[in-house]
Amino acid sequence: MGGNAVNPVSIFHLPVNGEGEQCSNVMQVLNLSGKSIVVIGGTTGLGFSAARCFVKCGARVVVVGRDPVHVSAARKSFGRAARVFAGDAIDPATATKAVELAVEEFGHLDGLYHVAGGSGRPWGDGPMHKMTDEGWHKTLEWNLSTVMYSNRAALQRFLAQGRGGSILNLGSVLAEAPSPVHFTVHAYTAAKSAIVGLSKSIAASYAEQNIRCNVIEPSVMDTPMGKRAMSDKAIMKVVRARQPLDGGRVGQPTDVDGAAAYFMSDASKFTTGQVLAVDGGWCLA
């Protein structure tokens, strides 16, 4: 190497500070200062963790959750940087209210992260030959129709503002790599697969307006939805084999924060229509 060689560590030094170090590292690279972001499904699990990270990276957020108890806890946690309210994503008016609140409180909308959704097992989702009509319709309503409602509301605002914006939808690795053992939820998988098609279609249709739309696909995570898997030794054996990174483990919500912050930031201004699996290797195993 010649005398002009540059040590990349001197340019991109990411200090480790103990508690909260993952978000702190993200903050060094991804600046969300001045951004106004709506998180649908942001009072628990992946949504809460991402909203917390957005705030630490400088953003102001509007967070929506269904459970009033979680909404109250989130409101205390986020403080003045967030506006948190209880609403059901299945109601089309909820997303509209969230977008309007972001504009009213923060002046504009820069990003939408749609996390709301979950297992349809309680209604009868499962293997196709056992699926109930209610299981099919309820699962699609919760996991797909809600995405349409929120994405539509965000797009309408972005177009009215004329300044572009970023939409990020939460998918699932089951859309790319279904598991025939323990994870046979065919309505849920269909909904998450449809999110990919919808997001790519949005990305193609609105790219000229600088509106981006991308998808994150997590694997089994330590969230309320992941508790069923985490409480079953047989399922956990499969999970450890399918997610071999970092010793083979269940993912943590903070494992997804960096990807979510990237898609909400200007660092992704030339990225749209993409699907990023944050899965510990699930799609490869």
- Cα atoms in the 13 Å half-sphere on the side-chain side of 91: 11
Tokens 């459970």 map to which residue? 67
Is 188 a catalytic site residue?
Answer: yes
Distance between CA atoms of residues 135 and 117, nearest Å: 14
* CA contacts within 13 A on the Cβ side of 9: 1
State the DSSP string of 149-207: HHHHHHHHHHHHHTS-EEEEEE--GGGTS--SSS---HHHHHHHHHHHHHHHHHHHHHG
Whole-angstrom Cα distance, residue 194 to residue 96? Answer: 22
Say whether 222 sits in a helix, a strand or coil: coil
Rounded Cα gap, residues 68 and 43, in angstroms: 9
Spatial separation of the C-alpha atoms in residues 55 and 76, rounded to whole Å: 13
- Sequence-ordered strand ranges (E) for the chain: 36-40, 60-65, 82-86, 111-114, 165-170, 211-218, 275-278
Catalytic residue (choose from 149, 188, 206, 262): 188
CB 113 within 8 A of CB 57: no
Distance (Å, whole) CA 118 – CA 115 = 9
Distances (CA, A) of 105 to 83, 140, 283: 8, 32, 41
Give the active site residues.
188
